[in-house]
Amino acid sequence: MSRAIRPSLLKHAFFGIVSFVLAFPLFIFTYHWLPDLQWPFHSDKIFALLLIVILLLLIMRSFKFIVVTAIIAIVGWLWYGSVSGRYGFKELYQDGKVVLYAMQNNSNNKVVFTGIRSLGTDQEIINAIDYKNPVVRDFAVGAANEYFSDQQSAKLKYRTFVQCMAVFKKINENWNYVNDPQDEEYIAKASESVRLLAGDCDDHSILMAAAIKAIGGTPRLVYTKGHIYPEILVGNKRDFELVSSLIRRKLFSDEIGGRTIHYHKDDSGDIWLNLDYTASYPGGKFMGTDVIEALYP
């Protein structure tokens, strides 16, 4: 009896292991379309993964030939993508890292307003973001022409975002931090800073916001204790996953390595990417996690 049962148990164990192995890449592919139910401990995502495992297990038991054929086709497709420079095993691995990061229970991705700021008034900052000034517009367009031209196809959905990343690269690669005069908060207009690419954190934020706004992007400025930095609107979770992949693979692959992409999520569920001068890639580490105010120019 035990000899008759053993092959059956081994077969079921094999099916279970294969189902689990296949479930992970399928979960990565479908993650972008899963609704963000925000269940505690990401239990909604865990439930979706287990559901995929169960469905695969049922399918394998009934349609072994189809499953084996599908496995061979998927592996072949990933192999072809790897050798041809398209979507392959490396890209699948990177997408998996992005998904796992997105599922981490980060305490700093939700904006919590606290305290009182002291870096100028809202009106001073807004007036300084003179994005319609021809000097600022010319600078932003020049940056878009200088960087990432191969990623700016007219058919690319995120072309404006890529051009804004070119602005980020132009500013952050050349920015020189210079303090304000003693005992005075000097607010420089973007049209002033664009000539020098120098100043303190508010000057950098103002220039970044103005240049991004000048070419169709949506920026905001975030205040923390004694600091201000710019962010850019990415969109929903699906948009974030796609632009994160774009940043990692195409735009800032050398700068980012395996480091984390930091962001904030507002009350509407929209995601904003950190563009501080302290990082060499978009989504660098926050200097301060306690947000005092967000200013929308």
pLDDT in tens, 187-237: 899 999 999 999 888 899 999 999 999 999 999 998 887 788 999 999 988
Which range among 48-52, 159-163, 237-241, 271-275 shows the weakest confidence by mean pLDDT? 48-52
* Tens digit of each residue's pLDDT (9 = 90 or more) over 262-287: 888 888 888 999 999 888 899 988 87
**pLDDT above 70 (res 29):** no
Q: CA–CA separation, 69 vs 191, rounded Å?
A: 61
pLDDT of residue 147: 92
Mean pLDDT of the chain: 78
**Residues constituting the chain:** 297
pLDDT of residue 113: 38
Which range among 4-8, 24-28, 49-53 shows the weakest confidence by mean pLDDT? 4-8
Which run of H or E residues covers position 234? strand 227-235
pTM here is: 0.65
pLDDT of residue 145: 93
Q: CA–CA separation, 191 vs 134, rounded Å?
A: 8
Helical spans, DSSP H, in the chain: 2-31, 43-62, 64-84, 89-103, 122-128, 134-146, 159-174, 190-196, 201-214, 237-246, 253-256
Helical spans, DSSP H, in 86-133: 89-103, 122-128
pLDDT of residue 97: 60
**Mean pLDDT of the region 75-98:** 71
Tokens coding 236: 């929903």
Q: Is 211 helix (H, G, I), strand (E, B) or coil?
A: helix
pLDDT of residue 106: 42
pLDDT of residue 69: 76
pLDDT of residue 41: 65
**Mean pLDDT of the region 110-133:** 66
DSSP 43-74: HHHHHHHHHHHHHHHHHHHH-HHHHHHHHHHH
